[in-house]
Amino acid sequence: LEVDCPTDIGSMWADQTKLRQVLFNLLSNASKFTKEGIIRLKVSERVGGLVSGNAPSAQDSSHSLTDPLTHSRRLVFEISDTGIGMTPEQVAKLFQAFSQAEAATQKKYGGTGLGLAISKKFCEMMGGDLTVTSEHGKGSTFTVTLPVAVSGEGAR
């Protein structure tokens, strides 16, 4: 497991339980489908359309959690692995409840097929998204993008 998170990434205001569950689900799946290889968690900041690995801290007066600019700031969590990967057909049905990549995968690796569906819903509830890119036999990358300041029901 490699973790790449800048020390000055700053703070985030979100539902800790939802975010923890999303990251746990993604890291658990990466571990399950990567027998030998590397799992990487990379955290970065996105302001507008740009991604930066060196975010200003939340205490920085130009980027405080109460600043209107904060609403355009997002944290990006990328969980990548060098595991079995998926075909485009498998990716297409990945976030459906009670669905897994294929029957053989469910038989070999187990699971209910709910983790990714729940994770995507949690990200959406917090005003963000969960996406995936994958190549069969080479691994997958799941990307969680969330606002630095989650508001409303998504923050609870």
Give the model confidence (pLDDT) of 128-138 as tens digits. Answer: 999 999 999 99
- Nearest partner of 86 among 16, 45, 146, 133, judged by Cα: 133
Q: What is the pTM of this model?
A: 0.78
Return the number of other C-beta atoms located less than 10 Å from residue 125's C-beta: 16
Higher-scoring residue by pLDDT: 23, 68: 23
By CB atoms closer than 10 A (0-12, 13-18, 19+), residue 86 is: buried
Average pLDDT in the 21-26 region?
A: 97
Give the model confidence (pLDDT) of 28-79 as tens digits. Answer: 999 999 989 999 999 999 987 555 544 444 444 344 444 444 458 999 999 9
Using pLDDT thresholds of 50, 70 and 90, give the confidence band for residue 97. confident
Using pLDDT thresholds of 50, 70 and 90, give the confidence band for residue 14. very high
Using pLDDT thresholds of 50, 70 and 90, give the confidence band for residue 156. low
Average pLDDT in the 68-96 region?
A: 86
Say what the pLDDT of residue 61 is: 38
- Three-class DSSP category at 118: helix
Which distant-in-sequence residues (6+ apart) come within 8 Å of 62 by Cβ? 56, 69
- Three-class DSSP category at 138: coil
Say what the pLDDT of residue 64 is: 46
Q: What is the mean pLDDT of the chain?
A: 82
Say what the pLDDT of residue 67 is: 46
Q: What is the 3 state secondary structure string of 43-95?
A: EEEEECCEEECCCCCCCCHHHCCCCHHHHHEEEEEEEEECCCCCCHHHHHCCC
Q: Rounded to an integer, what distance in angstroms lies between the CA atom of residue 143 and that of residue 53? A: 15
Taking each helix axis from N to C end, the angle separating 115-125 and 16-32, rounded to the nearest 10 degrees, works out to 150
15 pLDDT higher than 90:
yes
Say what the pLDDT of residue 65 is: 47
